[in-house]
Structure 1
Amino acid sequence: MFTWNKKQVTVTADAVEGSWVYRNAPLVLRPYLKLARMDRPVGTWLLLWPCWWSVALATEEGSFPSLLLLLLFAVGSLAMRGAGCTYNDIIDRDFDGQVERTRSRPIPAGEVSVKAAWGFLVFQCLIGLLVLLNLGMFAIGVGLASLLLVAAYPFMKRITYWPQAWLGLTFNWGALVGYAAVTGELTLAPIVLYVGGIFWTLGYDTIYAHQDTDDDLMIGVKSSALALGDKTQAGLMVFYGLFLVALLFVGALANLGEIYYTGCAFAALHMGMQIRRVDISSPGICLEIFRSNIHFGWIVFLSIVVDKLVPSFL
């Protein structure tokens, strides 16, 4: 099914420096690991965080979230993020070859054939399906409902300046699946978390998209970075502000206490630092700020977990 390329594999433009993919992975696997973005793990974290947040949110007071569920969502996020990126690269292969940052991706670089990429996509989807089948019938139904969003995403940049909003709809679906996996139902709290997460994604992916604005203009690809331009900081204030409001609302709906709200204050500080530091003319700074959302996710997750475990301060 797969074509094993034995040539030297080029390092993707925005890969993590010193990634294990280029140091330790077998040479024949490297193009496929690149295709799944294993050399750029931030996307997996960003897909995983809404899942873990909602699992923690649904956990009973005084208990730690199920380690099995956390592990299942970690594996599922790794597989489905890789599958999504593989699908995206197949659809966007002609665009990627014209953009400086993406022309080193495996398909435009000639390291993986389109046929082999489709085979690898199926393999990753099967792993994701195996994970989903362990989450309960209601959660399975909720998870499967996201497939149309995933399928449509690569085409959004062709028809709207807000593909980042569609990415938000897709990437935060785990906020619904995680809660459903624990409780077998959905309440208002995970729905608010999901809606708030859309604005979080709008913020961080707008920052990320500023790396490609020149190339996007040249080839006719749309993005929120192009739509906002010099008004990006103002846009981020709106996006992150709405997300913070959603986090506070979630806390009220879930009867969370002072520890959680203290964590929200630190989360707000983190978002404020992102807004203050962003420089849309510097791809390096944009990538650094984008990656910092891994740490942001830990702040929110630990705020929920610790608040559930530790009695109220008052």
Structure 2
Amino acid sequence: MSGTALQDGRPADAVAGHWVERAAPRPWRPYLRLARIDRPVGWWLLLLPCWWSAALAAIAADRTFPDPWHCLLFLIGAVAMRGAGSTYNDIADRDLDAQVERTRLRPLPSGQVRPRHAAVFLVVQALIGLAVLLQFNDQAVVVGLCSLVPVAIYPFMKRVMPLPQAVLGLAFSWGALMGWAAVFARLDPPALLLYAGALCWVVGYDTIYAVQDIEDDEIAGIRSSARLFGRRLRLAVGLCYALASLLVALAARGAGAGLVGYLGVAAFAAHLGWQVLSLRERDGRGALTLFRSNRGAGLILFAGLSADALLRGLS
């Protein structure tokens, strides 16, 4: 067994020593893995655009800080919907996952969970997400429900298009609309610009993530942006990240952000630039480290936007 798949059933991209492996009851572990609880970076990356949007809305509304209740709801919803989305993706991809070394030990292809049990687990997580969504205003609820379209089609895009990360970006960036809609009950240009920037960010970081599987994907015929860009990998990721930074800066400008907000965007852009400079073709282990570092990049941006709102509210 190679280093990318461990004999205990834990994928190599899971966090070593995570409480799922140490403390969770053994019968629960396959389901927690199915929901990616042992890989928290996934729900962080789903959550962060929500928090950016909440902070941007706070700036535009002259509030001192993002709505704490909204931020808590986004946290719960991100964990639930990341789990539901991952479960749905694994049900759809269980045959493909069996052909890729990094994913063949996931609960479904390895037989730890039966498909019908996974489907029940999916419904439970989706209902939790729905309960969270219904706490927002009607307009935000409609916006949130619309996210189900890209979520539903994403697992099948890697079979028919060379850039499935674009569809993933449509789904994972949706929170950039939600924070704004939750405050203003509508969508304005700053939210749309933030959404476009988040989409470019997702395409960039998921291209880095796809470097782990590029050899197996070639054998299995799975399409990915890492395969599409090939030797132009760093250039493509760099362009995605540059566009993401520009669009986020324009969103901040549209919301009326000040110097501190722009400094947050600049620090975010600098982190993304470091990732591009550190990226190496077919270095799967290094790619995983860079991918995970996007949690830090996103938190930097959230801190900058939140600090801007605080300073403006106190002035």
Q: Which residue number in structure 2 is paired with residue 36 of structure 1?
A: 35
The 8 Å contact of residues 9 and 111 in structure 1, kept in 2 or not, is answered as: no
Would you identify which runs of 4 or more consecutive aligned residues in structure 1 move more than 3 Å?
none
Within-5 A mapping of 1:1-314: 10-59=9-58, 60-311=61-312
The amino acid that maps onto 2:10 is V
* Distance (Å, rounded) in 2 between the aligned partners of 1:105 and 1:156: 20
Tell me the C-alpha RMSD between the 2 structures: 1.5
The 8 Å contact of residues 207 and 286 in structure 1, kept in 2 or not, is answered as: yes
Instruction: In structure 1, list runs of 5 or more residues that go unmatched.
Output: 1-7
* Deviations 1:253-296 (CA, angstroms, capped at 9, x unpaired): 01101001111221111011000001122111000000000000
* Deviations 1:194-237 (CA, angstroms, capped at 9, x unpaired): 01111101100000001001111111110000000110110012
The amino acid that maps onto 1:77 is A
* Deviations 1:167-196 (CA, angstroms, capped at 9, x unpaired): 001100111122111111111000000011
The 8 Å contact of residues 89 and 107 in structure 1, kept in 2 or not, is answered as: yes
Identify which of structures 1 and 2 has the higher relative contact order when contacts are C-alpha pairs closer than 8 Å and 6+ apart.
Answer: 2
The number of residues matched between the two structures is: 307
Give the 3-state SS of the residue equivalent to 1:87 in structure 2: helix
* TM-score (norm. length: structure 2): 0.95
The 8 Å contact of residues 46 and 82 in structure 2, kept in 1 or not, is answered as: yes
* Distance (Å, rounded) in 1 between the aligned partners of 2:237 and 2:204: 5
The amino acid that maps onto 1:23 is R
* Deviations 1:67-114 (CA, angstroms, capped at 9, x unpaired): 111110000000000000000000000010111000110001111000
Instruction: In structure 2, list runs of 5 or more residues that go unmatched.
Output: 1-6
- Percent identical pairs in the alignment equals 49
